[in-house]
Amino acid sequence: MVRAPGSHPPNIKNRSSKQLIPLTKMKSIFRSMSNEALANYKCDEARAEIHRREKKNIKKNIIK
């Protein structure tokens, strides 16, 4: 497998977790979820977002 210069190697570890779900399917999933499940999902998403930002900040601090 030959990569184009400057391109990142594919991240195989995260590929399965980042499969795109069509928006219409997402809407039907959210409609079928209970309020509690929806709240838990949003909480998990927020926690993941904070984790990503912290990781990015750590990388920035190392570069400085």
Q: Are the beta carbons of 3 and 9 closer than 8 angstroms?
A: yes
CA distance 13 to 25: 25
Query: Which residue range forms the structural domain that includes residue 29?
Result: 24-63
Asked if residue 14 belongs to a domain, the reply is: no
Within a domain: 34: yes
Give the tens place of pLDDT for each residue, 28-59: 777 777 777 777 888 888 888 888 888 888 77
In a domain, 3, yes or no: no
Residue 10 has pLDDT above 80, yes or no: no
Using 50, 70 and 90 to split pLDDT, how confident is the model at 6? low
The verdict on residue 8 lying in a domain is no
Task: Give me the pLDDT at residue 17, please.
Answer: 52
Residue 52 lies in a domain: yes
4 belongs to a structural domain: no
In a domain, 16, yes or no: no
Paired tokens of 30: 């959210």
Domains in the chain, number: 1
The answer to whether position 9 is within a domain reads no
